[in-house]
Amino acid sequence: MNNQYSFIGGSRGPWRVSEVRECVGAGLQTVERLEIVNGAIAPPPPDSAWVLRSFASNVRYAKRDELTTLRAVQPDLNRVEAVSAVLIPIKKSAQWWEMAQDERRAIFEEQSHHTAVGLEYLPGVARRLLHCRDLGEPFDFLTWFEFAPEHATAFDELLVRMRASKEWEYVEREVEVRLERDDPTQA
């Protein structure tokens, strides 16, 4: 399987867009549907408003014990019951990227407790972090979350806690795309 992913906002795809919310900075054009393609898309389909390209990579800030714990409870994506999803593209400031990796890790984990907070919401809320910065895309990361409707309140709590953390002081652009899957067998 290819480690590249393209999120295509337009008029087709198994995910119906219920809301596109500007959280910080410029948003994205509102679209009807979202299609996720495992691979790079070029040129963009004619019926698309935007394409966000990304790739799966190694985990950058986690220590071995944190990875082991995450992998033990992180569910697979595309679970039949997970008909709700949220795509959150994020761009961090130049100040964030000017720091050394150990300085970013200190903010990410020691101050913001990113992994520990996220673990509290597993396995109800599955997630995948994808990288975009190295591709020259307008965002640094795409975070994809999937969950059953009964976990929507927990997901919203997770967002509130993450956005209140020290790490979010370095976010200069964030968009929230809320979605629902029409047919769980078509993801």
Buried-exposed string 117-130: b where 16+ CB fall within 10 A, e elsewhere: ebbebeebbbbeeb
Q: What is the pLDDT of residue 185?
A: 53
Average pLDDT over residues 57-68: 72
Q: Are 25 and 91 in contact (CB under 8 A)?
A: yes
> For residue range 149-173, what is the model confidence (pLDDT) as tens digits?
999 999 999 999 999 999 999 999 9
Q: Which CATH architecture has domain 4-182?
A: 2-Layer Sandwich (3.30)
Q: Which sign, positive or negative, has the C-alpha torsion 72, 178, 34, 147?
A: positive
Q: What is the pLDDT of residue 174?
A: 98
Q: What is the pLDDT of residue 168?
A: 96
Cα angle: 144, vertex 75, 141; to 5 degrees:
25
Token duo for residue 181: 């899957």
Instruction: Please tell me the least confidently modeled range out of 13-17, 93-97, 112-116, 137-141.
Output: 112-116
CA 91 to each of CA 33, 95, 172: distance values in angstroms, whole numbers, following the listed order = 23, 12, 6
Instruction: Please tell me the least confidently modeled range out of 26-35, 92-101, 122-131, 175-184.
Output: 175-184
Q: What percent of the chain has pLDDT over 90?
A: 70
- Domain range annotation of the chain: 4-182
pLDDT at 44 over 70: yes
> For residue range 97-137, what is the model confidence (pLDDT) as tens digits?
999 999 998 998 888 888 888 888 999 999 999 999 999 99
Residue 172 phi/psi, 5-degree rounding, is -110, -10
Which is higher by pLDDT, 129 or 59? Answer: 129
Confidence band of 60 (pLDDT split at 50, 70, 90): low
Q: What is the pLDDT of residue 62?
A: 66
